[in-house]
Amino acid sequence: MNIIEPRLDGTNLRIGIVQARFTNEIGSEMVKVCCRTLKELGVAEDNITLATVPGALEVPIALMNLASSEQFDALIAIGVVIRGETYHFELVSNESGAGVSRVALDYNIPIANAILTTENDEQAVARIEEKASDAAKVAVECANLVNHLLSEQYEDDEEYRIFSDGLPIMTLRPSESFNIQPTTIGTLFTRNTHEKPTPPRTRACRTSHLSSRHQQNRRSRNR
């Protein structure tokens, strides 16, 4: 049996955090705890990026743009949704949670969801330390896991064709030294195929994202 051991080493990892400012006092404290834990795990301060949005419903769109930038190994969502007297609590909780999960799957990037859903302020305050610290650990562990699995998908003797607007423009090997910047939606990396790709936007972004992160992992291992 092959067992992939959990790895809580944040060295060279780049982490993006999106914080919902609603109930900002609690969210800000969670960010402090989260960043402190990330640094304890070896993530450099310069490799931590924080973006804020008005509320939990706006968190997924910010996460999506961070993910599509291909500049991060993992993301963290932070915020608080406290139950009120109307159905709005269920709407915000359900939609924000679904949006966070959708971004993670569409862009194949780990996202630690630390958006608290509580009955009152007291419950939220009591969970600041534990949930924020857990989110940092989840982000680092899952970033290492996904990066490891991505590196296993590409063998040194495989060739990759780069397509632009459906036409092959370059063939390369992962062992070669190259630097490919995120390009247009029409660009797609495929494995030894002559088929003309016509993927949807999310799939094109996701496939390009895998290749870019694979290059970064390879460069890190060769240092």
C-alpha–C-alpha distance, residues 94 and 115, integer Å: 11
pLDDT in tens, 166-179: 555 555 555 444 44
C-alpha–C-alpha distance, residues 138 and 143, integer Å: 8
Quick check: is 137 in a domain?
yes
The pLDDT of residue 153 is 74
Quick check: is 100 in a domain?
yes
C-alpha–C-alpha distance, residues 73 and 66, integer Å: 10
**Domain's final residue, options 132, 151, 170:** 151
Outline where the chain has alpha helix (H).
Answer: 24-40, 59-68, 88-107, 121-126, 128-153, 201-221
Kindly give the pairing relationship between strand 160-164 and strand 188-191.
antiparallel
Q: Are residues 123 and 179 in the same domain?
A: no
Quick check: is 6 in a domain?
no
pLDDT in tens, 26-81: 999 999 999 999 999 999 999 999 999 999 999 999 999 999 999 999 999 999 99
* Residue range of the domain that includes 131: 15-151
CATH code of the domain containing 109? 3.40.50.960
C-alpha–C-alpha distance, residues 121 and 124, integer Å: 5
**Domain's final residue, options 151, 179, 199:** 151
pLDDT in tens, 35-50: 999 999 999 999 999 9
pLDDT in tens, 115-154: 999 999 999 999 999 999 999 999 999 999 999 998 877 6
Kindly give the pairing relationship between strand 74-82 and strand 111-118.
parallel
Q: Are residues 106 and 210 in the same domain?
A: no
Quick check: is 1 in a domain?
no
Which residue's structure tokens are 């960010």?
31
Q: Are residues 43 and 147 in the same domain?
A: yes
Report the SS3 class of residue 141.
Answer: helix
Q: Are residues 175 and 194 in the same domain?
A: yes
CA dihedral 113, 119, 124, 126 (to 10 degrees): -120
Largest CA distance in the chain: 61
Each residue of 168-199: b (16+ CB within 10 Å) or e? eeeeeebeeeeeeeeeeeebbbbeeeeeebee
Quick check: is 79 in a domain?
yes
Q: Are residues 174 and 95 in the same domain?
A: no
Instruction: Compute the residue count for the chain.
Output: 223
Quick check: is 3 in a domain?
no
Q: Are residues 91 and 64 in the same domain?
A: yes
Instruction: Mark whether 88 is an active-site residue.
Output: yes
Q: Are residues 107 and 41 in the same domain?
A: yes
76 strand-pairing partners: 17, 112
Q: Are residues 105 and 178 in the same domain?
A: no
Catalytic residue among 88, 194, 209, 214: 88
The pLDDT of residue 172 is 53
Q: Are residues 103 and 196 in the same domain?
A: no
Q: Is the pTM of this model over 0.75?
A: no
C-alpha–C-alpha distance, residues 106 and 122, integer Å: 35
Quick check: is 4 in a domain?
no
Token pair of 65 as six digits:
């743009």
For residue 50, count CB atoms less than 10 angstroms from its CB and return exposed for 0-12, middle for 13-18, buried for 19 or more: middle
Overall domain count for the chain: 2
Q: Are residues 173 and 118 in the same domain?
A: no
Q: Are residues 167 and 68 in the same domain?
A: no
**Domain's final residue, options 131, 151, 171:** 151
Token pair of 151 as six digits:
């590196």
